[in-house]
Structure 1
Amino acid sequence: MEAIVKQEELKVPIFHNRNFVLLLISALFSSPGYFVYLIGAEWLMLSITDNRFYFGMLFFVAAIPRLIFLSIGGLIADRMNKRTILFWSDLSRAVLISILVLLIWTDSVAVWHLLVLAGLFGVSDAFSYPAMNALVPTLLEEKQLQRGNSLIQMTSQISPILGPALGGTLIALLGFKGVFSVSLVMLLIASFAVLFIRMKKEEDVQGNKPTPWTELKEGLSYVRKNELVISIVVMALFINFFFSGPFSIGMPIIVKDIFGGNAVSLATIQTSMGVGALAGAILLAAIKLKKPGITLVVSIIGLGLLYIATGISANIVLTAGLVALMSILTQLINIPLITMLQQTTEKRMLGRMMSLFMTVSTGLIPISYIVTSSLIAIGVSIQTIIIISGIIVTLIAIYNLRNKKILGYKFSQGREIG
């Protein structure tokens, strides 16, 4: 009888999986809610100070606590109910935004308020990321993972479409009070939606587990034995350094200072990013990659070339188109990468693996923010920074065309249930 039940479970289509659908619904509100907040915070910072170094600090102070707490977030994701972690993550963000709304209502918001809130958002991210990526494989079968990850990405990537479009419109119509109030409501909905996920009994029972320090050492040892992960981490480490800082800081500055745009112009760029990311996620939800490693490396080459073109773009429309194409390629990089890690990792190690991967691969991002902000502060054009960074990203990817560990990887075979 047990065997029959297990066989039936394997045949449950993704969209008949109640728990997975609830996770999608939560992501549908959580990610756009975060992006509505983000465009509001970015434009608010650009509006209350002309010092662009502080704008770069907005990203830096979010990245540092995220980096510091990611390993702890992975340990907690392996020891605690992942659903509960996601609930508290979204709820804490809603509370932080409510504080910002109060500051705006009292006309007392200052640069340091935005920096402190960015840091606290970084802490929240450190716990939600490993919990989300460790939860997906517990809700789906292994052969459903590429499609499941694509659907999660598809849902969350609606956020750079809906979030900036809604955020830019709300700033124009209702001001900063309106944009942050909507973000607050969306995150509250997301936090309560995830509570209806029914976890398996073993997910809720803690039992006798080793100490966190022992588990952390076990996770580090596990990573060292996985040559594929090491190869991916090293490549991601340097690509993130040259891409994340210049892109995150550069796009809003290019829109405001070079193109002379407004909040709606910034929303256009960020919406195009979401459109491209959604298209990439839909593509990967519809097809199964036969050679994900090759797709990964070739997509990074394309990303570098488009990045160079973005640096020499002359107007918002062309930049938006280039950003959309880069976002498609980003999905062709991220989804295979996450799926490769999930398929090669034991489920009991998923939280630690995801957090350790993120900690190491994004370790240089805070430095990237500092370097980018400092170069801008001494007069180096953000467009020059982006062009040089794009050249380096392309060269890193070309070098990895020799990496057999990545190029030779194949996903688990079999028809995905769907």
Structure 2
Amino acid sequence: MSQSDADAIDEGVLADARAEASVAPVPKGSLWRDRNFLTMWSGQALSQFGAQITELAIPVLAVLLLDATEFEVGVLTAANVAAFLLIGLPAGAWIDRMRKRHVMIWADGVRALALATLPLLWWAGALQMWHVFAVALVMGIATVFFDVSYQSIIPSLVRPGQIAEANGKLQSTYELANIAGPGLGGWLIGVLTAPFAILATVGTYLASLVALMLTRDHEERRAPEDHAPILREIGEGLRFVFTERLLRRIVGYTATGNFFNTLATTLLPIFLLRDLGLSPASMGLIFSLGAIGGFVGAIATPHIVRRIGEARAIPISAIAMSVGAALLPVAALVPALAFPLLVAQSFTASFTVLLYNITQVTFRQRITPPRLLGRMNASVRFVVWGVMPLAALLSGALGTWFGVVPTLWIAAGGELLACLFVVLAPFWTMRELPDAHSASR
């Protein structure tokens, strides 16, 4: 799990939800009686599970069936996340000018169609690595549009006082998919083989598409006269992020940590399936058990923050994440203990990522003017996720030149160095992080 994974729900929506919920309370659990929301939620639950299965099945297909090299696995990962770098900044501005539910429907259709080509080409005996690269790129672009729309559609589906409840239900489904999805994916791959497991997940995207078509919203498109020049809006968001001193430190650590984390995770399929000889089911089980750390981290974070202070939670969680990263190459030194070491590494990463992200995202919400929340989030994501395709390509090259395990050691060392962004910052000297009035002073 990377440092940015917990940003799955748009921070601006959450901030608005808290403010609106205080003035428009609704009975707890009221959305269980809202058929419109339940229709959308059920489709999204299936889509989340499908995404987790696909995330496991495509690398397994490349490594086991197409005998992908280290560099090809790097290119595959880069293609999957390249959209964050290529269109991450303008996507939000474009989507603000469209009906978000319609964008999501089109994105689901594109993802289902692109994904279906892989098992069909394999069945015809024509599947090649460049097909997998192309599908990963198309899927990544569609996912950027889907996710940005998805993070902003809730206010047009439910009443203001229900936004926090709706986001909580969607996030719980996301976490459940993170835990159960990889294990289910490993089982499906073992029973059906990777191509048929991929074909099965096409149905989840189609289910999401149908659910969205049956969902009704009250969103209205912005009037053309309300559109400001995109470059001006993008520039204002970037300036805010890089001129706020503590936020600049956080973004620096997250981007650098993500870079070296991607350096390691890109080669994980080869490391687990070839070097350690694990099965796809075991690989999925490691990810599922590790994801439990995210639930534990979410529960423990308020208690940890009360004990040590939210400011100190930033460098402490960063150090713990970086030290835990060293367990990956250590597993290669003691193959007999590889499985428990890998579970421990995954659990530690999930736990500390939740502690880090809950703390720093709350700080970002607090110091950012409401009119800049969307652009601040887009700017942060562009930086912290935009490094990932570059790291994936470098990972493939390093794996080819030096081998998988040396690359994992390089990644572990880089994650330790990344901590300096927050370890050498003034977080240790304060207990609570500043608010909007004092953050930049």
TM-score (structure 1 length as normaliser) = 0.83
The corresponding residue for 2:50 is 33
The corresponding residue for 1:260 is 277
Partner Cα separation in structure 2 for residue 237 and residue 59 of structure 1: 17
Report deviation, 1:140: 8.2
The corresponding residue for 1:191 is 209
The corresponding residue for 2:392 is 369
CA, structure 1 residues 30+336, in 2 after alignment: closer, same or farther (shift >3 Å)? farther
Q: Secondary structure at the match of 1:408?
A: coil
The corresponding residue for 2:286 is 269
Q: Secondary structure at the match of 2:355?
A: helix
The corresponding residue for 2:267 is 250
1:46 counterpart letter in structure 2: V
| 2:312–2:427 contact (8 Å) kept in structure 1 | no
The corresponding residue for 1:279 is 296
| 1:259–1:316 contact (8 Å) kept in structure 2 | no
Partner Cα separation in structure 1 for residue 179 and residue 76 of structure 2: 22
CA, structure 1 residues 50+126, in 2 after alignment: closer, same or farther (shift >3 Å)? closer
Gaps (5+ residues) in structure 2? Answer: 1-19, 437-441
1:384 to 409, 431, 440: 409
Gaps (5+ residues) in structure 1? Answer: 1-5, 412-418
Partner Cα separation in structure 2 for residue 308 and residue 232 of structure 1: 22
1:357 maps onto 2:380 in alignment? yes
2:261 counterpart letter in structure 1: F
Partner Cα separation in structure 2 for residue 150 and residue 22 of structure 1: 16
The corresponding residue for 2:121 is 103
Partner Cα separation in structure 2 for residue 341 and residue 77 of structure 1: 22
User: Which segment drifts farther, 11-20 or 63-72?
Assistant: 11-20
| 2:74–2:394 contact (8 Å) kept in structure 1 | no
1:119 maps onto 2:133 in alignment? no
CA, structure 1 residues 9+182, in 2 after alignment: closer, same or farther (shift >3 Å)? farther
Report deviation, 1:116: 0.8
CA displacement 1:243-278 (0-9 Å, x = unmatched): 2221x2132222123211121122122222332224
| 1:294-309 alignment runs, 5 A limit | 294-309=312-327
User: Which segment drifts farther, 186-195 or 366-375?
Assistant: 186-195
The corresponding residue for 2:25 is 11
| 1:46–1:52 contact (8 Å) kept in structure 2 | no
TM-score (structure 2 length as normaliser) = 0.79
CA displacement 1:162-209 (0-9 Å, x = unmatched): 2221221111111234201221111222233345555445x5443522
The corresponding residue for 1:416 is none
Partner Cα separation in structure 2 for residue 140 and residue 267 of structure 1: 38
| 1:276–1:325 contact (8 Å) kept in structure 2 | yes
| 2:24–2:160 contact (8 Å) kept in structure 1 | yes
1:327 maps onto 2:327 in alignment? no
Q: How many positions carry a matched residue from both structures?
A: 402
1:174 maps onto 2:192 in alignment? yes
Report deviation, 1:109: 1.0
User: Which segment drifts farther, 180-189 or 121-130?
Assistant: 121-130
Q: Secondary structure at the match of 2:151?
A: helix
1:80 maps onto 2:98 in alignment? yes
Report deviation, 1:122: 1.8
CA, structure 1 residues 292+205, in 2 after alignment: closer, same or farther (shift >3 Å)? same
| 1:130–1:355 contact (8 Å) kept in structure 2 | no
CA, structure 1 residues 259+281, in 2 after alignment: closer, same or farther (shift >3 Å)? same
| 1:57–1:373 contact (8 Å) kept in structure 2 | yes
1:215 to 227, 233, 238: 233
Q: Secondary structure at the match of 1:79?
A: coil
CA, structure 1 residues 7+45, in 2 after alignment: closer, same or farther (shift >3 Å)? closer
CA displacement 1:126-173 (0-9 Å, x = unmatched): 22333333446776869986x876654432122232222122111111
CA, structure 1 residues 359+142, in 2 after alignment: closer, same or farther (shift >3 Å)? farther
Partner Cα separation in structure 1 for residue 163 and residue 74 of structure 2: 39
| 2:104–2:146 contact (8 Å) kept in structure 1 | yes
Q: Secondary structure at the match of 2:267?
A: helix
User: Which segment drifts farther, 348-357 or 231-240?
Assistant: 348-357
Partner Cα separation in structure 2 for residue 410 and residue 195 of structure 1: 41
1:326 counterpart letter in structure 2: A
Report deviation, 1:69: 0.8
CA, structure 1 residues 118+406, in 2 after alignment: closer, same or farther (shift >3 Å)? farther
